[in-house]
Amino acid sequence: SLNFFLYLFILSLFFYFPKSFTVLFFLDLPLCQWDRMQKYNKNDSVEEIDKAFSILFFAVWRETPLYAVNLTLDAATAHPALFLSEEKRRVTWKEPFQDLRSCSQRFVSLPCVLGQLRVGSGRYFWEVEVGDVHSWDLGVCRDNVTRNGRVTISPQNGFWAIRLHDGEYWGLTSPETYLTLKEKPCRVGIFLDYEAGDVSFYNMVDESHIFTFSKQTFYGILRPLFKIESSDSGSLTIVQVE
């Protein structure tokens, strides 16, 4: 029953947050969400149950300041077509391309830029405003991914990302996974749990789940990934944590 799974969920909170007052604090919002879920019963589909518990887990992630990070973009990694704002929180495609110093860290074949954050352990969360951008990739990648030459964005090549292209959303697995979304996300939340091997994506406006790479094998350093395809795509903006 769902009550049994709720019990397991509460136990998991004590595992991740050993101090009892912390557990009680973070249980407040999920239990409020639980009141909204009483319509679910033993006859509910797996999809409905999954949706219900995604609300609970999302609520904990969303309201945990420990996880939220203020990202900035690493100019040394930016493809020559990508222009960064002065505060290094917004990236835009512009032509003609910039004449930039050659650097081993810079993306040449893919129009990408990485965040300054380097992750080798722990749990992290950040938000990106995508607005009306027509074509983008968001996610994480290994710090040592190939920057030059033909590269396919996939877990096999050290990338864990989702994509918007031609109005369609994709999980960049191998082969790619087509995503059916009820609402177009204007703000995307990326949740990274290094030890669990999970990267999850959420629509931060309606708190709906977009896609998750689960139980991946991470090693080395991971970094936030941003990709814009063309000049009509607008800007991607990192949301500053209050």
Check: CB of residue 131 under 8 Å from CB of residue 230: no
Check: CB of residue 78 under 8 Å from CB of residue 191: no
pLDDT computed for residue 94 by the predictor:
84
At the top level of CATH, the class of 75-238 is mainly beta
pLDDT computed for residue 30 by the predictor:
46
Domain ranges in the chain are 2-62, 75-238
Q: What is the mean pLDDT of each run of 10 residues along the chain (242 residues)?
A: 50 46 41 45 52 61 68 94 95 81 86 96 94 93 93 96 96 96 94 94 92 95 94 86 76
Alpha helices in the chain (DSSP H): 2-16, 20-36, 46-62
pLDDT computed for residue 63 by the predictor:
58
